[in-house]
Amino acid sequence: MVKKIKLGVMLSGRGTNFQALLDACLNPNFPAEIGLVVSNQINAPGLVRAKSSNIPSVSIPHQNYSNRRLFEDEITSKLRDAKVELVCLAGFMRILTSHFVDEWHNKIINIHPSLLPAFKGLNTHERVLSEGVRISGCSVHYVRAEVDTGPIIIQAAVPVLPTDNPKTLSERILLAEHECYPLAVELIANGNATIQNNTVILSGNFNCSNNLINPLKIKK
């Protein structure tokens, strides 16, 4: 029987990356299971996804707390009660304090829609297009107090097409996110991703396709 670590997923919106994790967890050989979904938005579609799949979930509206410390302490309490071992941020649209990040040091990961350390923060796809970048992508990384920093676990490169707008680029990168997030969790759960000197060291057998070049000249 596969030993499974327990995940806590934090989200604010649709929860498509939560769905990708949930789909992966349906495989009996996947080394993780979702113990709790937390949202700061009571009407988040991601909570509907959780409830329809009989996954324990809770809404913790940040507006109900006088400061971020109290809000985050409530989240930690719920995660601890659910015996969560790894926290997965999946579109959680609140900046977390160093207190919370330290509480879950090396036990909290995030997915960001760019090839970090490039294009940290918001409006990623608009900025990628305005800068004329040819290759974008996504990154799964451990969380640190500074936004969109921390040891990188896995990245996927996605070409930027001449016809792209922020919506089309976002949709294509999201497909890569749905592949990367479960793989990152699997690497961590199996002990194939460890942190040394603030860098993720991978162990095991890996392969990758040929280099991605964009644009690639068509041979005549």
- Among the listed residues 112, 125, 141, 178, the single catalytic one is 112
Judge whether 112 counts as a catalytic residue: yes
H or E element that contains 189: helix 166-189
The set of long-range contacts for 151-154, using a CB threshold of 8 Å and a minimum separation of 24, is: 151/195, 151/198, 151/199, 151/200, 152/116, 152/200, 153/109, 153/184, 153/187, 153/188, 153/193, 153/200, 154/180, 154/183, 154/184, 154/187
Contact 86, 105 (CB under 8 A): no
The residues that are catalytic are 112
